[in-house]
C-alpha cells in the first residue's frame, strides 16, 4: 500500500485533531501565543524543509564532538539549584525535613521505603553530612542497580512480554550494564545494533526482536524512547497539531530502519537481518511534496551512507533461509551517529526521563511529547540537565547522585512552610527578569538563530558533498581491498587444502598398494578388494592438487593487480577522507553555533515564562492573603451575628412566654365574662317571666274587680281578689328585684368586657414585639447565610489560589510533588513495611551461614560481614521478586502502553482488601512489623510510633497515637487482630501509596 | 488558620470542594501525569440513582474460531457450496436462515442480518482484532476493543461495577489488556466460566466488623493526609477503595444462581446457557458491555457435524436471551451482535471442513437503534463473493456505536492527543439504523 493511500483516511482525523489543537491553544494567554508565534513561527517559516538542501553521503565520523565541560564548570547539582532559584526568585527555599527525605531518597534510589532501623538511626544522626552519606550508601546498594534496570526495562520495553529473549537474560544484561555504569548512550547504541548473533550479547537484541523488527513500530518507539518525540501522526504528513514534528523526522528514522527485518533460522530462533538496498519515497498528503528519505536524527543531523565496495553490497547476500548482512549497515551508521553526533535530543530525552524517575514526572510531560507547543516546565533547567548528562558521559549513576544532592530535589512537601517562604510578593526578582528580557530583542535572537541555521545548512551541504566524493573514491578501493583480502584468504585456504590432499594421496596410495599385495597373496585379482576405490580417491586428490596449482600460478598476478589498484586508489580516497574530516569539523562548529543561538532563543522564552509564572505565583499568594484577610473579617462579622442571633433568640423566648401569659389572661377573663353573660341572661328570663305574671294578674284583677262591681258582695269574687292581688304584688316585687339584679349584672358585664379588651390589647402588644423579634432573627439568619456563602466562596478562592500556587511551585521544583509509587516500588515497599523482606534476608543469611560458615577470621572481619550481608540481601531480593508480579499486573498499564500514568481501579483495592497477600504478609512472624508493634502494644504511643516510623518514616502524630490507643485499649486477646487491622489500613492509606 | 465552624462540615460543601478539585485536575492534565479515569467518581456519590432502563447497553456473542455463514445467516441450500442443511423460514417473511437455528428464526423480527462483509482477513488474531476494534492492525498502534470504547462512552463512571465484562468459557477473573490508550479503567473484567470478579468477597478470616474497623482507620488516615496535600490522584486512590466496597455490596449482580430455577431451566444448565442467563442478569443490572464467548467454530474438518452440535447449543439460549430482552423492554436500549473473526469458505474441503474466509460473510445483530427484521447486502448465488452492499469491520464498528447513540465520528481526548473513536475512513451503515 502506498503511503498516500494509507494516509488518505487520516485526513479527516487530522482535521479533527487540528480543530482540537486550536481549542487547546486558545486557552493560552493571547499575548504569549502571539509572541511565541512571532519568535518561533518566523524561524520555522524561513526554514523550509530541513534536508532539501543536503545531498550525498559521508563516512562515519570517528570522534565525539559533544561539548565537554570546562574544568571549572559548576557541579550539576548547583546548576540545577541555580535554575530553580531563578524561577523561584530566591535561592533559599525550605528543604524537606529528615523524615520526608529519608523516605523519598529510599523510594527513589532503591525503589522501596527504608527499613525502620534506617529511619531511626537517620533521624537520630546529628551529623551535617548525613544526607550525602546516606545517598552514597544507597548508590552502592544492590537495589539501586535493580531499580535502574527496572526503570530502563519499563521505559524501553513498556511491559511487553519477553518472546525472543528470556526476561532473566534481558534484565541481567541491564543490571550488569548499570552495575558497570555503562553510558546510557552506549546502551542505546547497543540496543540498536545488536542482531542477536552474539550469544553473550543476545539480550541487547531484545529491543528490536520483541518488536518483530517492524519498521513502523521501531520508528515510533525509537522516536518516543530515544528522542522523546511521538511521530505517529507525522507518518503521513507533518504533525497536524505539533508544529515541530515534521514528516522528514519520521522518514529520517524510517530510512535508518527500513532495511532491517526479522529473520528466523530453521529452529525458529530470531535474529535481525538487513538488506543493502531500500529507500523510502514519501509524499505528503497535505503538500504533495515528494522526496527520498535520508536517515537522520531528530534535530536534523543527517546520517549519510558510508562507502560500499563497488558491486559488493553484501557480506552475506540474501537468500532463502539465509540471514542477509550488508557491507554497510545503515542501522549501524544511525546508531553510531547517536554516539558521535552533536545532536542533543537523545541526551535531552534521557535527562528528562531520569528526572521523571526521581520526581515522578518529567520537566517535559508526557515524556514522549517534546515539542515547541509543549515546552519543558523549566527549559533552562532541562538544558542544564542535558549538559550534565553529556558531561558525565551519560552515566545514570552520576546524574542521579547530582540530582538528589541538589536543594531542588530536597524541597519540602509542606505547603504551609513553602508558601510562607515564597519571596514572590517582592517585586525585585520579577523586575530583574523583566529587565533581562528587555536588554536584548526577540528580533535579534531570531535573526541570529536564522543566520546560524543557514550556516549550519551550508556546512551540512558541504559535508554531504565531501562525503559523496569520499564515497565515490572509497568504493573501488574497498572493492579492491575486499578482492585482495579474498585472494589472500583463498591462497591460505588453498595451501592448507593442498597439504591435506598431499597427505591423503600418500595414504590412499599406500593403502591401495597394501590391499593389492594382500589380494595377490590370497591369489585374488590384484584389483579386487577395495583397491579401485582407494586408487580413485588418490587420483581425485591428485586432480584437485593440479587445480590448486593451476590457480596458484594465476594468483600472484591477481594479488599484484589488486595491490597495485589499491595503491592507485588510496591517495584519492585518503585525500577525500581528509576533506571529509575537515568539512565535518566545520559542520560541528556550525552546529554548535546554531545550538548556542537556539539556546539563546529558548532562554528568552524561558525568561518570559518565568515572568509569567512568577507573576502568577505572586498573584496566587496575594489572592490568598487578601482572601485570608477578607475571611478573617467575615468571620468576625459572623461572630457578631452569632451574638445578635443569640440575643434575638433569647428575646423571642421571653416574649413568647409573655404572650402565653397574656393569652391565658385573656382567656380567663373571657370565661368570666361568659359566666356573667349567662347569669344576666338567666336574670333577664326570670324578670320577664315575673313581669308577664304581674301583667296577666293585673289584667285578671281588673276583670275581677269589674265583675265584683257588677256583682258586689259576692263572697267568692271578693275572696278571690285578695289572694290574686297579693300574688300580683309579689310578682311585681319579684320583677322589680330582678330588674335591680339586671342592672347589677349589666355593670358586671360591662366591666368584664372592658377587662378583656385590656388583656387583649396587652397580648397584641406582646405579639407585635414578638413578630418584630422574629423578623430580626430572620434577618440575622439571612445575613448569616449570606456570610456562610461568602465564607464558602472565600474558602474556595483560597483553595484555588493555593492550588494555582502549588502547581507552579511544583513545576518550579520549589515544593515536592506527590508521585504515585510504581508497581515495583509499591510491591517492594509492602514487603519492606510488613517485615517480609527482613525476615527473608535473615533466613537467607542463615542458609548461607549453614552452607559456608564463617571462619574465625571472617567472623570478625567487617568486610566479610558486609559481603555476607550483601549476599543475603541479594538472595532475598531474588527470592521475593516473583511476588512483585501481582503488583505489576494490577498497578501497571497494559503491555506496550506508556507506563508513567496513574490509575486507581477497584480491582486494585479489592486485591489489597481481599486478596490475602497483604494480610498474610502483615501477619508474618519473626521480626515483622506486627511482632514489633505487638511487643510494645501495652504502650500505645510506642506502638503507634513503630507503625508510623516503619510505614511512613516519621513518628506518629498525636491523633494517630490516640487512634492506636483507642484500637488497642482493652483489646485483650484481640490485640494481634487489632494490629492487623491498623497495619492494613495504614498500608492502604494514601500516604503509603505516594512518594512525597 | 481560622476556619469557619459551620461552613466546612456539610456534605454539600465537601462535594463542592471535590468538584472543584476535580475540575482543577482536569485543567492541569497536560502539566503532569494525569489520572486515567476514575476522577468523575468524585463528583457525585456512587449511590446516585441510575436510570437503568434508559441506559444503552451492548451484548456481543463472539463465535470464536469463525462461524460458518452458510450454516447460519446466509444458507445456500441446493448449491454446490451449500452443504447438507436446509434453509428455514423465519418470523420475518422472506428471510430464511439455516435450519440449525430454529429458535433464533422465531426471533428474527427482533434481529437484522448483514450478509455482505468483506474484511479480506483470514488470520484468527488479526480478524478478531479488526472485528472488535473496527481497525486494521497497524504495527505499533493498539486500539481499544469495542467493550472498552462502549464503557468509556456510555458507562456511568461513578458506578462501582465494571462497565466492560467478558464472560469466557474458562480462565481467571482478572483484568483484560484490551483498552489500549483508554487506560485500565476500561479494560474488561473477565468472568472466567461466569465466576464473579477476583477478590470480590471478604476473606473468611475477616469479619464484617473487623473490615469496618480497618476501613474506618483507613478513612481517618486519608482525611488527615488530605489536609496536607490533596490531588486528583489521591482522591482517585481513596475513591477506589469505596468503589471496591460498593462492588462487594453488589456482588450478587454476578451470581447467576440468584435467578429463578424456571429461568435456569429455560436457558439450560450447560455452560453457555448459564453464561447467557448471566449476560441477561448483567444487562438488567445496568452493566454497559457484556461479551459472551462461544467456542469453538474453527471447523477445518467435520464442519457440518461441529456446526450441528455447536449451534444446537447456541440456538436455544440465544433465542431465549433475545426474547427475554424484548419482553422486558430492554431490547430497545440494548444492542446485540453475533460476530466472529471471519466466516468459512464456501468450498468444502476433503475433510468435510470449511476453512478461513474473510471475503464474503455475515453477522447477526439487533436491538437498540438497529432496524428490526432488516437484511443488509447479499452474496452471490454460491456465496463466493459479495454481490451487493459490501461493508467491512470499520463500517460495522461505526454502526454498532451509532446504534447505541455514540457519535463514532468523534474523538476521545487522550492526554491531549485526540483519538478518533471509529476509523475515519469507514462509515456507519445508515440503512441498518432505525
In this prediction, residue B8 carries a pLDDT of 32
CB A900 within 8 A of CB A813: no
CB A798 within 8 A of CB A631: yes
Asked whether the predicted pLDDT for residue A9 surpasses 70, the reply is no
Segment A229-242 mean pLDDT: 58
Asked whether the predicted pLDDT for residue A2 surpasses 50, the reply is no
Let me know if residue B65 belongs to a domain: yes
Taking the Cβ of residue B6 and every Cβ of chain A, the question of whether any pair is shorter than 8 Å is answered with: yes
A interface mutation test: which of B30, B145, B231, B411 has the most A CBs within 10 A? B231
In this prediction, residue A893 carries a pLDDT of 86
Asked whether the predicted pLDDT for residue A43 surpasses 70, the reply is no
Segment A878-891 mean pLDDT: 95
Can you tell me whether residue B76 is helix, strand or coil? coil
Segment B206-229 mean pLDDT: 94
In this prediction, residue A13 carries a pLDDT of 38
Instruction: Write down the residue that cell numbers 536588554 correspond to.
Output: A439
Taking an 8 Å cut-off on Cβ atoms, the answer to whether B240 and A982 are in contact is no
pLDDT above 90 coverage of chain A, percent: 51
Query: Could you tell me the pLDDT band of residue B148, with boundaries at 50, 70 and 90?
Result: very high
pLDDT in tens, A163-189: 999 999 999 999 999 999 999 999 999
Taking an 8 Å cut-off on Cβ atoms, the answer to whether B142 and A897 are in contact is yes
In this prediction, residue B280 carries a pLDDT of 96
Nearest-neighbour CA in chain A from B434: distance (Å):
26
In this prediction, residue A940 carries a pLDDT of 93
In this prediction, residue B398 carries a pLDDT of 97
CA separation for the pair B153, A706 (Å, rounded): 121
Let me know if residue B201 belongs to a domain: no
Taking an 8 Å cut-off on Cβ atoms, the answer to whether A635 and B4 are in contact is yes
Taking the Cβ of residue B247 and every Cβ of chain A, the question of whether any pair is shorter than 8 Å is answered with: yes
Segment A314-326 mean pLDDT: 94
Query: Could you tell me the pLDDT band of residue B173, with boundaries at 50, 70 and 90?
Result: low
Taking an 8 Å cut-off on Cβ atoms, the answer to whether B239 and A904 are in contact is yes
Can you tell me whether residue B386 is helix, strand or coil? strand
Nearest-neighbour CA in chain B from A835: distance (Å):
20
Can you tell me whether residue A65 is helix, strand or coil? coil
Nearest CA in chain A to B231: A818
Instruction: Give the nearest partner residue to A985 out of B1, B214, B244, using CB atoms.
Output: B214
Contacts of B233 in chain A (CB under 8 A): 818, 820, 902, 904, 994
Predicted complex ipTM: 0.77
Nearest-neighbour CA in chain A from B40: distance (Å):
12
pLDDT in tens, B58-89: 999 999 999 999 999 999 999 999 999 999 99
In this prediction, residue A245 carries a pLDDT of 56
Nearest-neighbour CA in chain A from B114: distance (Å):
24
Cell of A575: 585525500
What is the count of residue pairs from A and B with beta carbons less than 8 Å apart? Answer: 252
Query: Could you tell me the pLDDT band of residue B310, with boundaries at 50, 70 and 90?
Result: very high
pLDDT in tens, A420-442: 888 755 667 777 778 888 888 88
Can you tell me whether residue B285 is helix, strand or coil? coil
Nearest to A939 by CA among A974, A964, A956: A964
pLDDT in tens, A705-750: 888 888 888 888 888 888 888 888 888 888 888 888 888 888 888 8
Among the ranges B160-164, B165-169, B386-390, which has the highest mean pLDDT value? B386-390
Lowest mean pLDDT among A221-235, A284-298, A628-642: A284-298
Segment B311-322 mean pLDDT: 97
Segment A875-900 mean pLDDT: 91
Query: Could you tell me the pLDDT band of residue A614, with boundaries at 50, 70 and 90?
Result: confident
In this prediction, residue B374 carries a pLDDT of 96
In this prediction, residue A714 carries a pLDDT of 84
Taking an 8 Å cut-off on Cβ atoms, the answer to whether B180 and A897 are in contact is yes
pLDDT in tens, A743-777: 888 888 888 888 888 888 988 898 898 899 889 88
CA separation for the pair A951, A993 (Å, rounded): 10
Q: How far is CA A358 from CA A104, A362, A403, A710, in A?
A: 9, 9, 8, 147
Asked whether the predicted pLDDT for residue A50 surpasses 50, the reply is no
Nearest CA in chain A to B16: A796
Interface of B with A in 362-421 (CB under 8 A): 410-411, 413, 415-418, 420
In this prediction, residue B37 carries a pLDDT of 37
- Which residues lie closer than 8 Å to A29 by C-beta, 6 or more apart? A612
Give how many domains chain B has, as a whole number. 1
Contacts of B160 in chain A (CB under 8 A): 906
Taking an 8 Å cut-off on Cβ atoms, the answer to whether B201 and A914 are in contact is yes
Lowest mean pLDDT among A184-198, A413-427, A554-568, B219-233: A413-427
CA separation for the pair A328, A309 (Å, rounded): 9
Going from N- to C-terminal start, the domains of chain A cover: 3-61+70-93+141-413, 819-995
In this prediction, residue A917 carries a pLDDT of 92
Query: Could you tell me the pLDDT band of residue A312, with boundaries at 50, 70 and 90?
Result: very high
Q: How far is CA B327 from CA B110, B254, B259, in A?
A: 11, 22, 17
Instruction: Give the nearest partner residue to B214 out of A634, A910, A981, using CB atoms.
Output: A981
In this prediction, residue A928 carries a pLDDT of 95
Instruction: Give the nearest partner residue to A795 out of B7, B174, B205, using CB atoms.
Output: B7
In this prediction, residue B14 carries a pLDDT of 36
Nearest CA in chain B to A957: B224
Question: Domain range for residue B369?
Answer: 51-196+257-432
Let me know if residue B372 belongs to a domain: yes
Domain containing residue B119: CATH number: 3.40.720.10
CA separation for the pair B61, B314 (Å, rounded): 10
Let me know if residue B107 belongs to a domain: yes
In this prediction, residue A755 carries a pLDDT of 86
Lowest mean pLDDT among A345-349, A875-879, A903-907: A903-907
Segment A107-126 mean pLDDT: 97
Taking an 8 Å cut-off on Cβ atoms, the answer to whether A985 and B221 are in contact is yes
Nearest-neighbour CA in chain A from B72: distance (Å):
33
Query: Could you tell me the pLDDT band of residue A22, with boundaries at 50, 70 and 90?
Result: very low
In terms of C-beta distances under 8 Å and separation of at least 24 residues, what long-range contacts does A157-161 make, across chains too?
A157/A206, A157/A207, A157/A210, A158/A895, A158/A896, A158/A897, A158/A898, A158/A899, A159/A888, A159/A892, A159/A893, A159/A894, A159/A895, A159/A896, A159/A897, A159/A899, A160/A210, A160/A211, A160/A895, A160/A896, A161/A210, A161/A895
Interface of B with A in 38-67 (CB under 8 A): 38
A interface mutation test: which of B175, B199, B220, B425 has the most A CBs within 10 A? B199
Q: Looking at the DSSP assignment, which residues form a beta bridge with residue A539?
A: none
Q: How far is CA A942 from CA A166, A333, A947, A968, A972, in A?
A: 48, 64, 9, 12, 18
Among the ranges A767-776, B263-272, B406-415, which has the highest mean pLDDT value? B263-272
Query: Could you tell me the pLDDT band of residue B22, with boundaries at 50, 70 and 90?
Result: very low
Let me know if residue B207 belongs to a domain: no
Let me know if residue B232 belongs to a domain: no
Taking an 8 Å cut-off on Cβ atoms, the answer to whether B185 and A903 are in contact is yes
Let me know if residue B40 belongs to a domain: no
Asked whether the predicted pLDDT for residue A981 surpasses 60, the reply is yes
Q: Looking at the DSSP assignment, which residues form a beta bridge with residue B412?
A: B419
CA separation for the pair B260, B273 (Å, rounded): 14
Amino acid at each position: 500500500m502506498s503511503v498516500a493511500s494509507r494516509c488518505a483516511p487520516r485526513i479527516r482525523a487530522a482535521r479533527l485533531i487540528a480543530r482540537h489543537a486550536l481549542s487547546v491553544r486558545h486557552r493560552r494567554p493571547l499575548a504569549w501565543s502571539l509572541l511565541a508565534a512571532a519568535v518561533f513561527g518566523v524561524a520555522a517559516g524561513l526554514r523550509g524543509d530541513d534536508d532539501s538542501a543536503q545531498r550525498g553521503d559521508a563516512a562515519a565520523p570517528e570522534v565525539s564532538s559533544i561539548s565537554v565541560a570546562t574544568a571549572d564548570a559548576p557541579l550539576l547539582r548547583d546548576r540545577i539549584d541555580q535554575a530553580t532559584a531563578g524561577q523561584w526568585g530566591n535561592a533559599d527555599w525550605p528543604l524537606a525535613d529528615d523524615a520526608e527525605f529519608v523516605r523519598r531518597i529510599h523510594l527513589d534510589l532503591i525503589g522501596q521505603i527504608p527499613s525502620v532501623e534506617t529511619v531511626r538511626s537517620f533521624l537520630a544522626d546529628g551529623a551535617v553530612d548525613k544526607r550525602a552519606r546516606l545517598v552514597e550508601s544507597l548508590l552502592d546498594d544492590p537495589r539501586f542497580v535493580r531499580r535502574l534496570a527496572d526503570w530502563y526495562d519499563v521505559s524501553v520495553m513498556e511491559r511487553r512480554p519477553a518472546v525472543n529473549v528470556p526476561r532473566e537474560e534481558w534484565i541481567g544484561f541491564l543490571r550488569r550494564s548499570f552495575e558497570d555504569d555503562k553510558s546510557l548512550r552506549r546502551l542505546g547504541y547497543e540496543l540498536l545494533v545488536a542482531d542477536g548473533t552474539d550469544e553473550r550479547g543476545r539480550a541487547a537484541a531484545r529491543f528490536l526482536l520483541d518488536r518483530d523488527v517492524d519498521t513502523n513500530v521501531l520508528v515510533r518507539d525509537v522516536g518516543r524512547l530515544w528522542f522523546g518525540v511521538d511521530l505517529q501522526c507525522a507518518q503521513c504528513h507533518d504533525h497536524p497539531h505539533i508544529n515541530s514534528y515534521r514528516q522528514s523526522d519520521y522518514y529520517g528514522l524510517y530510512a535508518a530502519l527500513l532495511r532491517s527485518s526479522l529473520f528466523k533460522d530453521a529452529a525458529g530462533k530470531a535474529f535481525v537481518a538487513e538488506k543493502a538496498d531500500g529507500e523510502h519515497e514519501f509524499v505528503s498528503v497535505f503538500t504533495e511534496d515528494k522526496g527520498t528519505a535520508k536517515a537522520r536524527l531528530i534535530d536534523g543531523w543527517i546520517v549519510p551512507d558510508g562507502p560500499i565496495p563497488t558491486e559488493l553490497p553484501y557480506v552475506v547476500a540474501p537468500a532463502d533461509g539465509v540471514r542477509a548482512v550488508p557491507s554497510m549497515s545503515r542501522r549501524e551508521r544511525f546508531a553510531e551517529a547517536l554516539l558521535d553526533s552533536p545532536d542533543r535530543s537523545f541526551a535531552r530525552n534521557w535527562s528528562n526521563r531520569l528526572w521523571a524517575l526521581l520526581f515522578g514526572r518529567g520537566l517535559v510531560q508526557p515524556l514522549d511529547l517534546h515539542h515547541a507547543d509543549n515546552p519543558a516546565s523549566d527549559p533552562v533547567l532541562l538544558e542544564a540537565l542535558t549538559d550534565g548528562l553529556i558531561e558525565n558521559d551519560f552515566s545514570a549513576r552520576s546524574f542521579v547522585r547530582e540530582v538528589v544532592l541538589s536543594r531542588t530535589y530536597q524541597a519540602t512537601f509542606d505547603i504551609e512552610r513553602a508558601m510562607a517562604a515564597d519571596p514572590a510578593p517582592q517585586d525585585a526578582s520579577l523586575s530583574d527578569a523583566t529587565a533581562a528580557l528587555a536588554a536584548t530583542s526577540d528580533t535579534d535572537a531570531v535573526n541570529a538563530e536564522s543566520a546560524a541555521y543557514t550556516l549550519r545548512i551550508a556546512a551540512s551541504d558541504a559535508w554531504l558533498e565531501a562525503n559523496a566524493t569520499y564515497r565515490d573514491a572509497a568504493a573501488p578501493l574497498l572493492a579492491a581491498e575486499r578482492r585482495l583480502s579474498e585472494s589472500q584468504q583463498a591462497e591460505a585456504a588453498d595451501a592448507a587444502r593442498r597439504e591435506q590432499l598431499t597427505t591423503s594421496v600418500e595414504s590412499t596410495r599406500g593403502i591401495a598398494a597394501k590391499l593389492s599385495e594382500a589380494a595377490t597373496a590370497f591369489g585374488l585379482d590384484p584389483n579386487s578388494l577395495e583397491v579401485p576405490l582407494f586408487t580413485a580417491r588418490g587420483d581425485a586428490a591428485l586432480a584437485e592438487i593440479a587445480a590448486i596449482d593451476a590457480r596458484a600460478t594465476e594468483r600472484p598476478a591477481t594479488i599484484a593487480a589488486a595491490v597495485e589498484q589499491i595503491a592507485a586508489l588510496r591517495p584519492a580516497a585518503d585525500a577525500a577522507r581528509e576533506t571529509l574530516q575537515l568539512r565535518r569539523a566545520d559542520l560541528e562548529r556550525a552546529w554548535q553555533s546554531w545550538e548556542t543561538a537556539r539556546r539563546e532563543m529558548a532562554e528568552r522564552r524561558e525568561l518570559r515564562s518565568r515572568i509569567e509564572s512568577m507573576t502568577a505565583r505572586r498573584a496566587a499568594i496575594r489572592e490568598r492573603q487578601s482572601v485570608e484577610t477578607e475571611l478573617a473579617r467575615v468571620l468576625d462579622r459572623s461572630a457578631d451575628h452569632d451574638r445578635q442571633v443569640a440575643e434575638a433568640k433569647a428575646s423571642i423566648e421571653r416574649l413568647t412566654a409573655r404572650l402565653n401569659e397574656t393569652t391565658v389572661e385573656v382567656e380567663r377573663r373571657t370565661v368570666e365574662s361568659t359566666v356573667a353573660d349567662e347569669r344576666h341572661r338567666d336574670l333577664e328570663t326570670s324578670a320577664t317571666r315575673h313581669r308577664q305574671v304581674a301583667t296577666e294578674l293585673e289584667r285578671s284583677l281588673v276583670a275581677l274587680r269589674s265583675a265584683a262591681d257588677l256583682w258586689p258582695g259576692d263572697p267568692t269574687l271578693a275572696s278571690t281578689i285578695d289572694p290574686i292581688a297579693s300574688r300580683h304584688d309579689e310578682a311585681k316585687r319579684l320583677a322589680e328585684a330582678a330588674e335591680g339584679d339586671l342592672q347589677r349584672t349589666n355593670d358586671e358585664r360591662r366591666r368584664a368586657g372592658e377587662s378583656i379588651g385590656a388583656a387583649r390589647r396587652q397580648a397584641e402588644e406582646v405579639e407585635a414585639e414578638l413578630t418584630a423579634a422574629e423578623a430580626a432573627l430572620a434577618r440575622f439568619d439571612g445575613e448569616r447565610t449570606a456570610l456562610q456563602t461568602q465564607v464558602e466562596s472565600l474558602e474556595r478562592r483560597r483553595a484555588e489560589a493555593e492550588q494555582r500556587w502549588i502547581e507552579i511551585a511544583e513545576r518550579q521544583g520549589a515544593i515536592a510533588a506527590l508521585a504515585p509509587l510504581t508497581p515495583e516500588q509499591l510491591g517492594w515497599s509492602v514487603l519492606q513495611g510488613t517485615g517480609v523482606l527482613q525476615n527473608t534476608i535473615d533466613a537467607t543469611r542463615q542458609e548461607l551461614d549453614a552452607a559456608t560458615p564463617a571462619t574465625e577470621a571472617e567472623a570478625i572481619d567487617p568486610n566479610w560481614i558486609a559481603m555476607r550481608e550483601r549476599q543475603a540481601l541479594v538472595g532475598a531480593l531474588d527470592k521475593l521478586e516473583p511476588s512483585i508480579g501481582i503488583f505489576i499486573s494490577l498497578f501497571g498499564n497494559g503491555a506496550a502502553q506508556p507506563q508513567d500514568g496513574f490509575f486507581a481501579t477497584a480491582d486494585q483495592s479489592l486485591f489489597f482488601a481481599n486478596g490475602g497477600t497483604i494480610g498474610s504478609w502483615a501477619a508474618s512472624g519473626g521480626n515483622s512489623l506486627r511482632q514489633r508493634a505487638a511487643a510494645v502494644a501495652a504502650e500505645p504511643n510506642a506502638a503507634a510510633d513503630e507503625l508510623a516510623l516503619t510505614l511512613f518514616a516519621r513518628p506518629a502524630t498525636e491523633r494517630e497515637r490516640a487512634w492506636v490507643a483507642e484500637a488497642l485499649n482493652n483489646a485483650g486477646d484481640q490485640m494481634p487482630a487489632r494490629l492487623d487491622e491498623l497495619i492494613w489500613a495504614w498500608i492502604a492509606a494514601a500516604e503509603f501509596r505516594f512518594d512525597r | 488558620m481560622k476556619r469557619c465552624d459551620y461552613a466546612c462540615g456539610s456534605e454539600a460543601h465537601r462535594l463542592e470542594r471535590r468538584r472543584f478539585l476535580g475540575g482543577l485536575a482536569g485543567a492541569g492534565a497536560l502539566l503532569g501525569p494525569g489520572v486515567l479515569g476514575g476522577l468523575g467518581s468524585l463528583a457525585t456519590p456512587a449511590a446516585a440513582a441510575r436510570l437503568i432502563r434508559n441506559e444503552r447497553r451492548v451484548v456481543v456473542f463472539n463465535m470464536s474460531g469463525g462461524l460458518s455463514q452458510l450454516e447460519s445467516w446466509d444458507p445456500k441450500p441446493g448449491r454446490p457450496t451449500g452443504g447438507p442443511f436446509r434453509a428455514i423460514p423465519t418470523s420475518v417473511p422472506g428471510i430464511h436462515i439455516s435450519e440449525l437455528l430454529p429458535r433464533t428464526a422465531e426471533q428474527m423480527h427482533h434481529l437484522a442480518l448483514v450478509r455482505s462483509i468483506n474484511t479480506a482477513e483470514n488470520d484468527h488474531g488479526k480478524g478478531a482484532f479488526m472485528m472488535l476494534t473496527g481497525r486494521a492492525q497497524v504495527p505499533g498502534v493498539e486500539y481499544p476493543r469495542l467493550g472498552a470504547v462502549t464503557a468509556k462512552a456510555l458507562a456511568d463512571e461513578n458506578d462501582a461495577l465494571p462497565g466492560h465484562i467478558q464472560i469466557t468459557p474458562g480462565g481467571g477473573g482478572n483484568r483484560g489488556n484490551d483498552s489500549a490508550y483508554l487506560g485500565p479503567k476500561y479494560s474488561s473484567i473477565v468472568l472466567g466460566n461466569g465466576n464473579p470478579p477476583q477478590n470480590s468477597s471478604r476473606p473468611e478470616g475477616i469479619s464484617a466488623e473487623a473490615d469496618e474497623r480497618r476501613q474506618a482507620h483507613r478513612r481517618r488516615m486519608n482525611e488527615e493526609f488530605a489536609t496536607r496535600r490533596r490531588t486528583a490522584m489521591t482522591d482517585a486512590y481513596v475513591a477506589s477503595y469505596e468503589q471496591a466496597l460498593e462492588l462487594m455490596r453488589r456482588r450478587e449482580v454476578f451470581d447467576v444462581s440468584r435467578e429463578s430455577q424456571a429461568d435456569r431451566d429455560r436457558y439450560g444448565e450447560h455452560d453457555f446457557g448459564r453464561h447467557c442467563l448471566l449476560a441477561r442478569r448483567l444487562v438488567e443490572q445496568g452493566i454497559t458491555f457484556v461479551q459472551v464467548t462461544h467456542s469453538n467454530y474453527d471447523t477445518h474438518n467435520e464442519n457440518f457435524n461441529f456446526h450441528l452440535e455447536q449451534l444446537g447449543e447456541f440456538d436455544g439460549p440465544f433465542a431465549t436471551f433475545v426474547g427475554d430482552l424484548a419482553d422486558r423492554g430492554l431490547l430497545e436500549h440494548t444492542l446485540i451482535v453475533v460476530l466472529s473473526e471471519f466466516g468459512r469458505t464456501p468450498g468444502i474441503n476433503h475433510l468435510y471442513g470449511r476453512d478461513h474466509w474473510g471475503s464474503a460473510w455475515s453477522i447477526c445483530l439487533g436491538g437498540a437503534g438497529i432496524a428490526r427484521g432488516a437484511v443488509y447486502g447479499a452474496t452471490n448465488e454460491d456465496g463466493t463473493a459479495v454481490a451487493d452492499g459490501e461493508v467491512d469491520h470499520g463500517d460495522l464498528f461505526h454502526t454498532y456505536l451509532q446504534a447505541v447513540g455514540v457519535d463514532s465520528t468523534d474523538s476521545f481526548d487522550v492526554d491531549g492527543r485526540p483519538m478518533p473513536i471509529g476509523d475515519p475512513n469507514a462509515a456507519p451503515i445508515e440503512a441498518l439504523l432505525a
